[in-house]
Amino acid sequence: MVPFGTSPTPKSPRIVVVGAGASGLIAAWRAAQGGASVLLLEANAQPGAKLRISGGGKCNLTHDGPVNAVLAAFRKEQARFLRPTLHAFSNEDVRQLMSSLGIETFSRQNGRVFPLERPESAAAVTEALVGLALRSGVELRTNVRVVGLVGQAPTLEAVRLGNGVFIRGDRFILATGGASYPRTGTRGESLAWLGDLGTPVHPWAPALAPIPLVHPHPEWEGVSLRGGSLDLFAGQGGRRVARHQEDIVFTRSGISGPAALALSREVESLRRESDAWLSYALVETPHEALEVALLETQKQQPHLLVRTWLQRWMPERLAAVAFALDGMPPSDQRLKDLSRPARKVLLGLLTGFPLGKPSRVELAKGEVSAGGVQLSAVDPRTMALKGWDNLRVCGELLDIDGPVGGYNLQAAFSTGFAAGG
């Protein structure tokens, strides 16, 4: 790996990097450290627009643990693709780089790595990476929008700017990001450019996004369900398609929180194909064992109110509404008077609290985008597009969407490092 503090060698090949986000900044720095003359083009007035707001401004840089454990969080195809790059520029390398730039990091109990608490940590990380690139000799131009690619395989000749100017180079690195958060300038148009050149691509799709519901519950806004699992079914009463064991929080239009974000891609895919239904398992205990526990409570506390017992498992605001569901016993009924059918309904509520049908998950609201350049079209060690001598892609432009927890920034850093090598 190139030492963090070395000076660039005399300039030779010209490398044009398009996009000054997380992957683009790392790619430009690495290329400059390798001796290239690097021009970094950014459409926004400031580099790193999306990086500056990552993690709510706190910037979840990466995830702690061995590289293999980090890889295990990704889908199998994505993990196989990322293996060479994460070993070449690992989560520990990211932390060491940040330390060399004066940004110390810490790991939370859940393994997420952040800069030590300070106001606007994400902005500090962005400025540190911009400074690193500039000190390495990178020429940064902002307010420059690329609108197309010029050339035919195997050689890209130039990128075309919005003002009609062509910028030529010896090698090109596209780090233009995905299609989420368009207010940060990510429009996803470069996927169409590559598709026009014959590159295999998957259309953009939402990932790590809140899930709207057909029948939302705005009165529950801010209420969380914790310690259970969000379940996705192929229609009400259908087979379970996916499950994610984390919390959710109700919003005015649906649900958010770690579990909702994690399943948003699968939810939207199933919703488009057929029917989808969501519920939340408040307890992981099997139905039979839970029934035994309830029967034991009936014996020991026969005068306990049903609503009091239910509030052990769910917030009071939801428990109050739950008693309006079909088959539920009266809230003021005592456990000793609970009938077998009512007991079954009550237990079913705990193992599958109904959330209902999801509506369209919005791409623009995702933390990242699913879709992008198909991984089979990219060399996983260099990020070179197969069939091209001088064109590489990295970051969110690749069809990679890891879970919440710093995984996507790590993928951006690692693939950017490989692209700049």
Side-chain half-sphere of 220: how many Cα atoms within 13 Å? 25
In this prediction, the residues of the chain whose per-residue pLDDT falls under 70 are 1-12, 181-186
What is the model's pLDDT at position 3?
41
In angstroms, the CA 99 to CA 119 distance is 18
Query: Would you state the torsion angle of the CA atoms of residues 49, 54, 56, 57, taken in this order, to the nearest 10 degrees?
Result: -60
Structure confidence at residue 186 (pLDDT): 67
Return the pLDDT at 142: 97
pLDDT of residue 105: 96
Q: What is the b/e burial string over 174-199, where b = at least 16 CB atoms within 10 angstroms of the residue's CB?
A: bbbbbbbbeebbbbbebbebbeebeb
State pTM to two decimals.
0.85
Q: Tokens 């300070």 label which residue?
A: 118
pLDDT of residue 8: 40
